[in-house]
Amino acid sequence: MAIIDKPTDYFNTVLYTGNGGTQSITGLDFQPDFTWIKSRTTGGSGNNNHCVNDVVRAKGSYGYPMIHPNLTAAEYDPDSGNEVVTDFNSNGFSLGGNENSNYNSATYASWNWKAGTSFTNDASATGIGTIDSAGSFNNDSGFSIVSYTGTGSNGTIKHGLSTAPDMIIVKRRDGADGWKVYNSPRGATKYLQLNTTGAEGTLSSQWNNTEPTSSVFSVGTAGDINGSGGRTYIAYCFANKQGFSKIGSYVGNGNADGTFVYTGFKPAWVMIKRTDSSNVWVMLDNKRDPFNEVDANIYANDSQAELSSDRVDFLSNGFKNIGTGNANNGSSMQYIYMCFAENPFVSSTGVCATARWLCSYLLT
């Protein structure tokens, strides 16, 4: 398997400050196809929801339709003055005046992924899957965006990748339903919900108890993932890629000398979720915390501002929990994670990733 030597060609975090009007956010080495934005501070009329935009859900008169990962609300087509992402540009994206993403003087984090290659699949014509799909994919980084219309019957959907996804996040676009999450460590008999703190559930009508393959993922008959009557859905699919991405699991030890999680690269971003009981979806990155320890938390299921909690260290080959909280390192508690790289542990040319500084070292 080829190692990705420059992960920032496919994923990166950009921080910015809102201006209440319009502005272009730059700093990426690619044109993003999927952008996830969250305010770090409070502001506006309490409108601090997460915002997700992508190129597959077609641009309207006032920019791309928005979905909030922390809510069940249907997709929203913005009106004039209330736009989120109005364009995806060669090195970033342009914003309108929506308070969730561009309130004057509020600070924001944006997490950006590249897909880049469009596809459409007529299932009856190609014999791939049973439900038609369309989207954008990148096999180098193992990421795809997939749009489909539900049938209400057990089915399979082409995801565009050449390997089976290890995490799939699905949201109904035209109705108020939760965000359903498949992850390979826990398997297709289980599901999680991104917009809640809930523990994993067992329900065959979600993923039809069937693991994804290198060409399709399976859906059951649940209305929030495959309802009939013309219901529309968007899916974000992520596969493990050496030196770039890792979806996995670990067991916490409840100790400040916490569980070490090997990823094979220096992390740039990680999302952690306890699976055996209720708890938050912890989101950490290397831009909001450029030095260890990493504790600037945003919770994917919540609109609250960034807070300091759930501490980890980003290392050259993984991350280490150094807090004892139940959100990421409770004793004998079970967790899944999704992580993306700043640098591979060892590049294809044999160059090793360097360790991160500790803030305390810089102050002495």
Q: Supply the DSSP string of 310-339, one letter for each residue.
A: EEEEEETTEEEE----TTT--TT-EEEEEE
328 closest CA partner among 268, 248, 258 = 258
Q: What is the pLDDT of residue 264?
A: 95
What is the structure's pLDDT at 46?
61
Distance from C-alpha of 135 to C-alpha of 115, rounded to nearest angstrom: 9
pLDDT at 354: 64
The secondary structure of residue 8, as a DSSP letter, is G
Residues of the chain with pLDDT under 50: 346, 360-364
Give the pLDDT confidence score for residue 344 in this predicted structure: 81
| Whether 93 contacts 24, CB under 8 Å | yes
Residues 6+ apart with CB under 8 A from 363: none
Tell me the β-bridge partners of 23: 95
Collapsing DSSP to helix, strand or coil, 140 comes out as coil
pLDDT, position 287: 98
CA distance linking residue 3 with residue 351, whole number of Å: 12
pTM for the full model?
Answer: 0.95
Structure tokens that stand for 305 in this block:
């501002």
Chain center to CA of 128: 26
Structure tokens given for 265: 């690269």
Question: In terms of Cα–Cα distance, which of 38, 31, 33, 32 is closest to 15?
Answer: 38
Cβ neighbours for 54, distance < 8 A, ≥ 6 positions apart: 33, 34, 35, 64, 136, 145, 234, 236
